[in-house]
Structures are given as C-alpha cells and as structure tokens.
Structure 1
Amino acid sequence: MTIFSFKNMMALPLLCFVSTSIYAENTALVTSNGILSGDFGAVSKYIYRGGVENDDVAFQAALEYAHKSGVSVGYWGSTLDYDATDENRTHGFEHDLYIAYGDEINADLSYNLQATAYIYQHGGTVYADAHKRKTTAFDVLGELAYKEFTFAASVLLADASFGNAGDMYLSAAYNHPLPKNFILNASVGGSVYNSGRDDEIVQTTKDFAFNEARIGLSKSLAESSVVASLDYILGGEDRLGEDFDNHVVFGLNYHF
C-alpha cells in the first residue's frame, strides 16, 4: 500500500495495485538497505471510491523505496479528465507523495501507518462566495493485514476542495491466489463524513455512505512483470446521497 498508497487511494485503483504488487519483487532493485520498485501502465478508467477521476484511459506510474527498517517513501501519479481549478480544462494530473512505516506482528498479521499528500496539476484554490479551499489534501492511513484480508481506515487532516477535515474512509480487501497464476480481488469501502465544516464548496447530507464494492481478477502475462487486471465496480453513493455508476475497468501494468 510492500507499503501501498490508497488514493483517488491513489499506479492503479486499489484492487489492481494491491494484487499486482505480488509480482513486483521479481524485478525490483534490491540494495543492502532496502528495495527500490515501481510500475507504470494504464487503466481503461480511473475510479476512486466510486467516483470517476478519469472516464477515459488513464496513464499511471509509481515509484517506492522501502528501507529495511520498515520505513518507505513513494510517489504515485495519474492522468485526470478534469482540472480542479478550471472547469473549462478537460485534463489534469494527480501527484501523491507518501511516507509510511510497516512491520509484521507475526507470520499472519502485519500493519502499516502512512501519511500522504495529494497534489494536483496547477494546484491552486477553489473559490465560492466568501469561502475558499486548497485543492492540495493530506491524510493519514492505518492498515491491518491478516493473511489474505486487509482492513484500512484513512482520515482527511484538513479541509480540501473535495472534502472536510475529519472525513474518514473505511475499507476491507481480500486477495486470493487461484490456479494458473490468477488472483481473485475483492473489496468494499464506505465513508463517514464530517458535516460540521460544510460551506458553499463542500456540502454533506449523508453521515455515512457506502461508496463502492469491487471484484475482479489479475494475472501476470507469460511469467513476466506485466500484469493484466479486470475489475467490476459496483457504485454506491457520495456525500450528497447521489448514486455512483457501475463500471468495468481493465488494467495493464509493468512492474520493475
């Protein structure tokens, strides 16, 4: 989230990134103090917590250095089909920078703590009457992994153009190896929204909303570092109670 970044949690949507990381160690650069790894690829759509970040093909890339101490730093980026500060612009880019610490409690149980900054192309501020908000956002994430299950919670630390400080996202994921090197991926996620900081830019009508559920398959191609994935995403609701669409997302990713 290997340490993973969960974003808008975040070189593919959550399920693709978690499942395909299994193959990353095959080509990662191993040093005396840690591992440098990365990936780049594309998905047919970029869907984040049920919402559409790019309704066209999104190109994505990631780079991470994991130190033997358990500390890791990384970058993740994706193309977008919008610009948060210019409604007339039909493209943009998201940059995520994170630092994390993870360790094993025992052979079956591990944890990860992560802080992430989300930075958007052109940065800037969104204005509405007397209110304004930065597009840059910061959150903290906690994960607990038990065997093939991962449970996570992230909290937004400050008001941003898309959310309120205190908004929390809760998720659970399951990844299971299948015959022929296929991997079954499934996840579900929902948000607890803080309506106490609403203004003209961000409004809330739901204290809690189921955002999305995913199920899919991923597979390395011909024992290479290229991984193909296919996910079905069942859309839930946003903070206003408006329904998200369902999506089928295909991904192709190369790990190094």
Structure 2
Amino acid sequence: MIAFSFKKLMMTLCVVVPSSALYAAQAPITTSNGVWSGNIAAVSQYIYRGGVENDKVAIQTGLEYAHKSGMSVGYWGSTLDYDATDETRNHGFEHDFYVAYGNEINPDLSYNLQATAYVYHHGGTIYGDENKRKTTAFDVLGELAYKEVTFAASVLLADASFGNAGDVYLSAAYNHPLPQNFILNASVGGSAYNSSRDDELIQTTQDFAFNEARIGLSKSIAETGIVASLDYVMGGEDRLGEDFDNHVVFGLDYHF
C-alpha cells in the first residue's frame, strides 16, 4: 500500500536536489495543462507500516498525471509474496488508484488531500464462519508539509480484510539534503485502531500502537535516472500487540 503519495515523493526529490543533472535529463513529460511522471523500482523487501508485504525482492511502479490546477490522478503497484484469498498461493499484486488535490499555502507550507482505492490481483472476499470481508479497501489521506517536515493522517473508510472502518494511521516524515546529493530520510508512524467493528476476521487489543520508524539515505546516480536508497526500518507492534521485526531495505528507483 502507498505509505505516502507518489506525487509527494516526486515533489520532495525535485525540491531537495534542484541542481542535479539527473532531473534535468529525466524531466517529466509536460503538457499545456499538466505533467506526466512515473517510476519503476525494485526493493529488497516491501515493508508497509511495519508489516511485511513482500519478504523477497518486490517490483514496484507508479504513474501520475498532475494538472496545473493542483488535481492529480495516479496509479501505484507492487508485487506481493502472498494472496489474501488463497493461502496456497505465494504471490500476488497490489494495485493502488488515487485522486488527489494539493497546493501551496505559502513557499514554506503546502497541503495534499488524497483518496485511494487498494485493489488486489486475484482478490475478492475472505470468509469466516459468520463474517466476510472484501480485500478491496478505500481510505482518505491528508498531508501538511512545512519546509522539510510532512505530517499525515489517513482513515480507512470501510471494513476490509486487513482493518476496520475508522482505523487511523498517523505519520511524520523528514527529508533533508546532504552533501554530494545525498538525502536523509526519516519517518515515524502509528495507528489508532477502531475495535468497535471487530469480528472473527479482525480482532483488536491495542487502542493505539507505534507501527514503525525509518531512517535512511537516498542518492541520485548521475545521468542514469536512478535513485538508490538504503533504509533501516524499526518495527513496532500491530493491532494485537504483536511485535514487528526490524528490516534493512535497499532500493533502486528509475524516474521518468
């Protein structure tokens, strides 16, 4: 699932390294009304809010059209090492479709509002003895960015196979340019869980849980269109109070 919008990632990279030859050479396609941009990436693991979505190498891709009005639509996808509706299948694919609106309040302050649909290949419905839940999910996200810090909150809109309607994820991220076109990236996130909609498929014992903290470095590889990244992910807990593992994640991301 998208931890933050692809649009926000592209904006951050372009702002913190404006003099890089990489982004001059790999400029997004500009039309009279907006900009097309995209990426293709490989990461050593796909970790989402502390949990493992793919413990093997994951291939991920994104495509976005940002209109000059501030509206944007986009897609993001990733390979998974599971299928939510078939325990015998060790692979799957996540498709995220979103629409967003963002703008600047002043040169230091901006905001982004986003609605996302999460759709899983071979997905459908998970059945229990008395309950059933869709794997497809919907949430809304609000982000407020002040200089190099971004605060965000997202709310799950309907019950899904992995959460309850009303679950809220809160996060803060910090990105800071370093010498030699390195970027310091750090973030922390936690969830406020809605236990009132628990059933046999989803149970909750924690009202709030710290899910993960990340710190890492990224760097553009000059004139290749590729950004390399290395992150340490410190796992927290899930809605049952069970511990997440720690991970080191390496990634290569080609932007176009």
Give the TM-score category using the shorter length.
over 0.9
Amino acid at match of 1:185: N
Residues 11, 60 of structure 1: 8 Å contact kept: no
Give the Å deviation of 1:41: 1.3
Residues 43, 250 of structure 1: 8 Å contact kept: yes
Give the Å deviation of 1:223: 4.0
Classify the secondary structure of the residue corresponding to 2:106.
coil
Aligned match of 2:163: 163
Aligned match of 1:9: 3
Structure 1 residues 66, 103: CA separation in 2 closer, same or farther (over 3 Å shift)? same
Residues 164, 197 of structure 1: 8 Å contact kept: yes
Runs of 4+ in 1 over 6 A off after TM superposition: 14-18
Structure 1 residues 228, 19: CA separation in 2 closer, same or farther (over 3 Å shift)? farther
Structure 1 residues 200, 151: CA separation in 2 closer, same or farther (over 3 Å shift)? same
Give the Å deviation of 1:18: 7.4
Residues 16, 251 of structure 1: 8 Å contact kept: no
RMSD between superposed Cα atoms in Å: 1.9
Aligned match of 2:135: 135
Task: Please state if 1:195 is matched with 2:195.
Answer: yes
Question: Which string of whole-angstrom CA distances, capped at 9 and with x for unpartnered residues, describes residues 20-41 of structure 1?
Answer: 5657674200111000000001
Residues 33, 67 of structure 1: 8 Å contact kept: yes
Matches within 5 A, 1:13-162: 20=13, 26-162=26-162
Amino acid at match of 1:92: G
Please give the TM-score of this superposition, normalised by the length of structure 1: 0.93
Residues 38, 61 of structure 1: 8 Å contact kept: yes
Aligned match of 2:222: 222
Amino acid at match of 1:146: Y
Classify the secondary structure of the residue corresponding to 1:122.
coil
Structure 1 residues 15, 104: CA separation in 2 closer, same or farther (over 3 Å shift)? closer
Aligned length: 249
Structure 1 residues 134, 70: CA separation in 2 closer, same or farther (over 3 Å shift)? same
Residues 35, 67 of structure 1: 8 Å contact kept: yes
Residues 2, 96 of structure 2: 8 Å contact kept: no
Structure 1 residues 18, 49: CA separation in 2 closer, same or farther (over 3 Å shift)? farther
Structure 1 residues 10, 89: CA separation in 2 closer, same or farther (over 3 Å shift)? farther
Give the Å deviation of 1:224: 3.2
**CA distance in structure 2 between the aligned counterparts of 1:197 and 1:11, rounded to whole angstroms:** 28
Structure 2, unmatched stretches of 5+, are 16-21
Structure 1 residues 16, 115: CA separation in 2 closer, same or farther (over 3 Å shift)? closer
Residues 16, 229 of structure 1: 8 Å contact kept: no
Structure 1 residues 190, 233: CA separation in 2 closer, same or farther (over 3 Å shift)? same
Structure 1 residues 223, 178: CA separation in 2 closer, same or farther (over 3 Å shift)? farther
**CA distance in structure 2 between the aligned counterparts of 1:202 and 1:67, rounded to whole angstroms:** 39
